[in-house]
Amino acid sequence: MLASHVVYIGLAGFAAGFINALVGSGTLITFPTLVALGYPPVVSTMSNAVGVVAGGVSGTWGYRTELDGQWGRLRWQVPASVAGAVLGAFLLLHLPETVFIMVVPVLLVSALVLVVAGPRIQSWARRRAEARGRSSDHVSPARTAVLVLATFAVGVYGGYFTAAQGILFVGIMGALLPESIQRMNAAKNLLALVVNIVAAVGYTLVAFDRISWPVAGIIAATSLVGGWIGARYGRRLSPNALRFTIVVVGAVGLYRLFAV
């Protein structure tokens, strides 16, 4: 591997770890970088999925305080993410990548709209709950079921393509839950980490020889640092600043995806 490639991959890995902890679309940096350096798309996807696990660990650990009080719901979302990721990893090995690449822009635009509209949706849900004499923090069984199904769907997407799954998680949770965006970001980090772990294990067991382990190692080392720094500074952002950052990074990610 050329020294310049090591530098490019290392910088992309650091940026991915930082952005994944903060927003959740770091793969839209590493994936185009690897493809531009000559790695095949499937090799890039699998090598990246293995590498960014380390950044997911540091990012989730950095947001551990915001996870308090969410475990009652996450005990349903985590298994849904696992099941979705297993199916997504299976699909990656059996379907052409163009299938999901065609769907990615639609999903991303929809998620960004939900991120922007999240506060209004939450306000509407709060007023509706109060009008019915319920607590504004109440999440009905029906809404929980929709959330779990949506989490499964994002898990399938994440196990297949991984790119920008964090934005999708924040989008659906913002539309369905009465939570602050920082707490949703914490849950997003955990769920995305679960998906990446499942996908990485699946790729390793089934397609060990199709993973570029030097690339995965470089991304792991640099994303670990990026995830820790991203969590440290992301937790200090105001809700509006974090929401704005998610939208900007998502828009840039869309551009990069089309530019590959």
pLDDT at 153 over 60: yes
Q: What is the pLDDT of residues 18-32, one digit of tens each?
A: 988 887 777 777 887
Tokens at 55, concatenated: 């950044």
Q: What is the mean pLDDT of residues 130-135?
A: 56
pLDDT at 220: 96
| Contacts of 6 by beta carbon, 8 Å cutoff, 6+ apart | 218
Q: What is the pLDDT of residues 46-88, one digit of tens each?
A: 898 899 999 999 999 999 999 998 888 899 999 999 999 999 8
In 3D space, the residue among 239, 195, 247 whose CA is nearest the CA of residue 66 turns out to be 239
Where exactly are the structural domains of the chain? 3-259
Cα–Cα distances in Å, from 89 out to 23, 49, 74, 158?
23, 10, 22, 8
pLDDT at 181: 79
pLDDT at 135: 52
Assess contact for 31 and 48: CB atoms under 8 A.
yes
| Residue 163: band (very low, low, confident or very high) from pLDDT cuts 50, 70, 90 | low
How far apart CA 227 and CA 21 sit, in angstroms, is: 5
Q: What is the pLDDT of residues 186-225, one digit of tens each?
A: 999 999 999 889 888 988 888 888 899 999 999 999 999 9
- Displacement of CA 13 from its chain's centroid (Å): 15
Q: What is the pLDDT of residues 99-124, one digit of tens each?
A: 666 766 776 676 667 666 656 665 66
